[in-house]
Each structure stands twice: as C-alpha cells, then as structure tokens.
Amino acid sequence: MVPEGPSARTLRQSTFVSTRSFKLRASPPKNKPGTLKTLSNSVIPIWLWLPLSFVLVATAVVAESVERGPRPSLGGEVGPRILGPPVTRGTFEYRYWASGQSLVGLSVPTPVLIVSGAQPGPTVCLTGAVHGDELNGVEIIRRVLFGLDPTQTNGTVVGVPIVNLHGFRRSSRYLPDRRDLNRFFPGDARGSSAARLAQSLFSEIVRHCSYLVDIHTGSFHRTNLAQIRADLGDASILKLARMFGDIAVLNNPGTVGTLRRAAMEAGIAAVTMEIGEPLRLQPEQVEVGANGILDLLAGLGVTVRDEVKPKVQPVYYQSTWSRADDGGILLAEVGLGETVSVGQLLGTVTDPITNERKSIVSPVEGRVIGMAINQVVMPGFAAFHLGHLTGSVGVAQAAKSLATGRGGRQPSRGAVGDLSSLTPIPGVDEDVSDDLVVPETEMEPDDHRE
C-alpha cells in the first residue's frame, strides 16, 4: 500500500467527522417543514442537505484514491498491482515479498523480479526453489528475466527465484519445521507455519498470474529428464503445454496441496517443469529449461522470437516407478532419456557384505524420464521412473485425440469435442518423497500432515 500522506489523513479524518456530523436519527423528531434534524440538533434545510451529501461522497472517493495510489490510465502506462502499487510499463523492477515467518527484526524479504512490458498482455509467473535444495530453477529464472527487454515485451513476467528461502539457506528440501511447503497450497492464514507461508505467496503473488510455471528438480539424489507435468484434460493447460518446444510432457492432474494444483483450482493455467537433480547447478539442464520458457513466452505473445520449425513433443499418458526389492548398492545400467524394453536390465543392487546381487528390470516398454543417482538404497526404494511408450504420442496429436474423443481414453466430463472432456489417467505425484526412507532430521513425520 502506498504510504499515507498528510493530505490523505486529513481527508479521511474530515470525511469521518463529517459523516458522523450529518448522520440522521433512525426516527428523527418532528421538525419545521422543509428541514432535517441531525444528532447535534442542528437544523439543515433540505435544499442544502443534497449538495452537502455530494461533497461528502466526493471527499470519500478522493481520500480512497489518495490512499490506494495511482490507478491504470487509459493509455496503459501501468501494469498489474503486485506487492504494492501497479508496476510501471516498460520497466524492470525489484520488489520484495515478506512472508512474516521470521522473528521481528531478523526477517529477510524474498526478492521478486518483475519485467513489465511496454504493451499490455498476460502476466506469466515463474517460481523456483519451492523446495530449498532445488537449484536449477533459480538459475533458469535469472537467465529468463534478465534476458528480457521490457521495451520489447508484452504483458508482465514475474519471477520468484527462491520461494523457500528458509530451506535454501540450509540446503534443505523442507522448511525449518520439517514440513514440505509444496503440500500446503493455497495455504491458511491461521494455520501452521507452512500453511501461512503458502497463503502469503498465493494471495500476494500467484493470484495475480494469468499463467504459472513452477520449476522443480528430482528429489533426494534423483534426477529428472526435462519434462512438463500438466493436466492434459484441461484445454487451457493443454494449450500451454504445447508451447515448451520439444520438452516432454507427462499427463498428471497434480497432487492436492501442490502449488500447481492450487493455481489450477483458482482458474490459473499452471504446469510444473521438472528438470535435473537437487543440490546441483547443471548448465545443460538450465539451458534446456530456459529455452523452453522462452518458447512459452513467445507462444503466449509476451515476446517475439525468430520463427522456427515446429518441434515434436513426446507426451506420456502413464508412467511407472521401478523399485528395488532389496537393500544395497544401486548401480544403474541405463541412462536418463534412454528407451527401454520389457525385461531390460535397468540396474543392480548389491549387498556389500554378502556380495549378493539382485537385478531391477523394466516392467514396460518405455523411456527413462527419471532415475536415482548411484547410491545405497533400502528395499522399496523408487529407482527408475519410466514413461510408457505405448501411451506416448506427439502433443499436437494428443490434442486432436482429446478433441475427438479418440486415443483409447474415455471422456467423462464435458461434451465430445471439448478438450475439457478428458479425465486424465493418474500419473505420478510431483515427487516420490512421501514414500522415501530419508534421514530422521529430514523426514516429515506423519503427525505433521494437516
């Protein structure tokens, strides 16, 4: 809110006093004809009451206008109101989001980068490090935002490189109370610390977005092939998913409590970008992710890029995690992005004491879209994430299949021919951390679920 100046305070005070002075009784006593009696027993002629009422209303409007600050002009000189007054068009601005989750005097606001284009357009929001140990998204957002020219941009691009600043400082996925922030959206202003943090971000920033891309990496020593996770049963989200160049798409409606799911339920077209592994900055993955978002901005008309030949995007309607049945040392035999067949060896798990070796084989024909880094694992550990090739087609072909009701998928809502008629086949959650064996200091206890 714009700081209130003396003139605004004077106007508000005079308005308040004036309003009280001329407030009528519910049942005023009888007065002389043509007059009204106020609480102060002053007699005011009716012919004078109407002009005074107009003055009071006008004064209140002026006071409210002064308090709220400038409003968008007809010429579009200002953009959306985010974390304060409307942003000025054609500028790059730093603003700061204070979640109020630190001790008074020790709180460090989270930087928010805003590129406000010279011309009106959609508001695209990019969020990174919702999990504090996921670094690739931080660099992707930096590259994208600082690579934009506000004078050549339409609409607004908002970047929050580090959402979970508490976890980021500790190189931890979680908040200090060991909660996973990405399970508490849209949040609760009177809930737990995580719920309040989620509510603050959602109400102050996310609700102003037309589109949202939430950037993540694999969790707990896993890496992900660059992929967009999206609810392809939603027409606006399907359209959005088609704009990321050749980055693969995994159909998934999103887990309740995630930022993506909450944004979708609020009417915002939202997707998750998964790319790379945690606790590392991977230049190759960052470049892929940044190029994908630049393709998205061009597709939305926010920027203009040289016309390129349309790229083929693989889309996976279903996916499967292959798990280790025994504990030991996991050594992979396949690489990220590799195509595998049924029964193909994916990796081995060797007992370091007995030297007994067990194999992990592929249960489907598919592609490795996520996998664990070589490490010591426990029984049940999710080791290889496979996208089913039997359900893999181009996104453009998927759109046609959804529109016509073909593709082996039965519409269950909406009319035939409407993209929203698709009921997505369940895929996977945003991550597999809920069923992982992790150190006690990092594990989110069951009693922290709300």
What is the overall mean pLDDT for the chain? Answer: 77
Asked if 152 and 35 sit in the same domain, the reply is no
Q: Does 153 fall in a domain?
A: yes
On whether both 162 and 305 belong to a single domain, the answer is yes
Do 10 and 149 share a domain, yes or no?
Answer: no
58 and 195: one domain?
Answer: no
> Domain check: are 46 and 168 in the same one?
no
Mean pLDDT across the stretch 279-294? Answer: 96
Amino acid identity of residue 263, one-letter, is A
pLDDT of 55 strictly over 60: no
Q: What is the mean pLDDT of residues 175-204?
A: 94
Q: Which domain holds residue 137?
A: 85-314
Pairing of strands 222-230, 248-251: parallel
- For the chain, the residue count is 450
Whether residue 56 sits in one domain with residue 168: no
Looking at residue 77, its pLDDT comes to 72
What is the number of structural domains in the chain?
A: 2
* SS3 per residue for the chain: CCCCCHHHHHHHHHHHHHHHHCCECCCCCCCCCCEEEECCCCEEEHHHHHHHHHHHHHHHHHHHHHHHCCCCCCCCCEEEECCCCEEECCEEEEEEECCCCCCCCCCCCEEEEEEECCEEEEEEEEECCCCCCCCHHHHHHHHHHHCCCHHHCEEEEEEECCCCHHHHHCCCCCCCCCCCHHHCCCCCCCCCHHHHHHHHHHHHCHHHCCEEEEEECCCCCEEEEEEEEECCCCHHHHHHHCCCCCCEEEECCCCCCCHHHHHHHCCCEEEEEEEECCCCCCHHHHHHHHHHHHHHHHHCCCCCCCCCCCCCCEEECCEEEEECCCCEEEEECCCCCCEECCCCEEEEEECCCCCCEEEEECCCCEEEEEEECCEEECCCCEEEEEEEHHHEEEHHHHHHHHHHCCCCCCCCCCCCCCHHHCCCCCCCCCCCHHHCCCCCCCCCCHHHCC
On whether residue 344 sits in a domain, the answer given is: no
Chosen domain end from 287, 314, 341: 314
Lowest mean pLDDT, pick from 5-9, 290-294, 326-330, 442-446: 442-446
Q: Note whether 300 and 271 are same-domain residues.
A: yes
Predicted confidence (pLDDT) per residue in 296-309, tens digit? 999 999 998 877 66
Q: Is the per-residue pLDDT at 63 higher than 60?
A: no
Does residue 281 belong to any structural domain of this protein?
yes
pLDDT of 434-443, one tens digit each?
Answer: 333 233 333 3
Residue 369 lies in a domain: no
Q: What is the mean pLDDT of residues 363-382?
A: 96
Same domain, 141 and 46: no
Residue 91 within a domain: yes
pLDDT at residue number 100: 64
Pair (27, 142) in one structural domain: no
- Tokens 């068009």 belong to 89
Per-residue pLDDT at 80: 86
**Structure pTM?**
0.73
Show which of 284, 314, 344 is a domain's final residue.
314
Both 152 and 275 in a single domain? Answer: yes
Is position 425 within any domain? Answer: no
User: Which domain-ending residue is among 295, 314, 333?
Assistant: 314
Question: Are residues 129 and 35 both part of a single domain?
Answer: no
Kindly report, residue by residue over 381-394, the tens digit of the pLDDT: 999 999 998 645 55
234: domain CATH number is 3.40.630.10
Q: Tell me if 156 is assigned to some domain.
A: yes
pLDDT for 98 equals: 85
Co-location of 159 and 307 in the same domain? yes
Question: What per-residue confidence (pLDDT) applies to 396?
Answer: 54
Mean pLDDT of 80-108: 81
**49 in a domain, yes or no?**
yes
